[in-house]
Structures are given as C-alpha cells and as structure tokens.
C-alpha cells in the first residue's frame, strides 16, 4: 500500500470514529483527545489530519452525505419505476439508521443542531450536496417520465427527507412502538401518493 493510500485510510478511520463519538456523546462533550484516544493515536498526529474540531465536524457531514448519496445513486441507476425507487430509498435509509445509526444521528443531532459550527464552510447545501444531488436526480427523472408531479423542489424534498428523518428521530427517542422496517410499506406508499402525478 502506498503512503498516500495509507493516509487516506487513516483519514477515513478518524472520520468514522469521530462520527460515532459525536453522535453518541454529543458535539460539545466530545473532545479531540477523546477521539485520539479511541484511535490509539496522539493528539498531535490527529491534528495533522484535521486542524480543528470544527473542520473535522464539517468533513464528517460531507463524508456521510457522500456515503448516502452513493447508495441513492445506485437506486437512481436502476431501470425501475419511481414508485419502486421510493421504496428502495426508504429501505436503504432505514437500513442505514439500523446498521450505522451514527450516520443519521450525526445529521439530526450534530449537523442540524449546531448551525454555528457549520455556518462558515457549510453554507446552504454545500456539505450535503452529495446526497441532495441524487435526490434531485430522482425527482427530475420521475417528473420527466411523467410518473411524478411537477412541483416545487423543496416542497417535495421536505416531504420525503423530513418524513424519513422524523421517523428515525422518533426511533432514536424510543417512541416508535414498532420496528422501523415495519413502517417501510406504509411510508413508501404515503410518499408515493404525495409525489405521484
């Protein structure tokens, strides 16, 4: 393995570890020494990769957005109806919430809750564009094929992603009586009914 590849791997492992710690313990309660400690590396060495906690936080949201975007891209590339795509996106979102809860938790509990950290460098959609772009492509192809209704982007985006985020949030608060998976059919149907032409 080359030196550059090694550095890339290390960088990713820092992102993953910090992601877990921030999601579990909160942004302010997690310190750089906590993260270094969990990785068995020195604080000084960690600073070689990320100059500050704020920078690390911004890189994490970009990273999670890219990972989620890549999963949605796989759905977008499939030759299936928008209705089927909706179900697949709901499935993968809930699967991620179950298997990598820190990904979604981070978005809801760090990114959305600490805007002061992200105001400089993550303006607008800047750090979540990997994921938002794929949702745009999903909407665009659905409208072009005539399956989805042409409407304001944010009305549709809020309905789709707000709904999924809300459900995961409720799950995280242990309010949901059933498992997330048991809601997939109903939620997919509701989203489709709201978006269809």
Per CB under 8 A, does 37 bind another protein?
Answer: no
CA R_g for the chain: 18
123 near 40, Cβ under 8 Å? no
How far apart (Å, rounded) are the C-alpha atoms in residues 44 and 183? 46
Nearer to another protein, 60 or 142 (CB): 142
- To another protein, the closest distance from the beta carbon of 143 in angstroms equals 3
137 near another protein (CB under 8 A): yes
152 forms part of the interface with another protein (CB under 8 A): yes
The dihedral formed by the CA atoms of 9, 24, 96 and 40, expressed in degrees to the nearest 10: 20
Least separation in angstroms between CB 129 and another protein: 4
Give the residue, chosen from 32, 39, 108, 126, that forms a contact with another protein under the rule CB under 8 A: 126
Select the residue interacting with another protein from 38, 67, 136, 176 (CB under 8 A).
136
Is 159 a binding residue for another protein by CB under 8 A? The answer is no
Q: Which of 125, 186, 196, 197 binds another protein (CB under 8 A)?
A: 125
Asked if 26 and 9 count as a contact pair (C-beta separation under 8 A), the reply is no
Phi, psi at residue 18, to the nearest 5°?
A: -60, -40
Interface characters, 66-95, with another protein (x: CB under 8 A): -------x----------------------
Closest approach of another protein to the CB of residue 150, in Å? 6
Supply the minimum distance, in Å, between the C-beta of residue 156 and another protein: 6
Q: Is residue 41 involved in binding another protein (CB under 8 A)?
A: no
Of 29-37, 44-52, 107-115, 128-136, the segment contacting another protein by CB under 8 A is 128-136
Q: What is the contact surface with another protein in residues (CB under 8 A)? A: 73, 123-126, 129-130, 132-134, 136-137, 139-144, 148, 150-153, 156
């Amino acid at each position: 393995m080359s030196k550059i590849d090694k550095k890339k791997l290390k960088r990713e492992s820092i992102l993953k570890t910090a992601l877990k710690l921030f999601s579990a313990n909160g942004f302010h309660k997690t310190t750089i020494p906590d993260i270094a400690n969990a990785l068995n590396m020195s604080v000084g060495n960690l600073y070689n990769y990320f100059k500050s906690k704020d920078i690390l936080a911004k890189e994490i949201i970009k990273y999670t957005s890219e990972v989620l975007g890549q999963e949605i891209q796989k759905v977008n590339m499939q030759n299936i109806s928008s209705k089927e795509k909706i179900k697949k996106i709901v499935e993968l979102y809930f699967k991620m919430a179950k298997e990598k809860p820190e990904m979604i938790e981070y978005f809801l509990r760090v990114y959305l809750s600490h805007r002061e950290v992200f105001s400089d460098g993550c303006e607008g959609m800047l750090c979540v564009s990997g994921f938002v772009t794929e949702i745009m492509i999903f909407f665009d192809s659905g409208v072009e094929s005539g399956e989805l209704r042409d409407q304001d982007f944010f009305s549709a985006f809020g309905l789709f992603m707000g709904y999924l985020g809300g459900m995961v949030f409720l799950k995280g608060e242990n309010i949901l009586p059933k498992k997330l998976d048991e809601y997939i059919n109903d939620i997919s149907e509701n989203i489709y009914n709201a978006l269809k032409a």
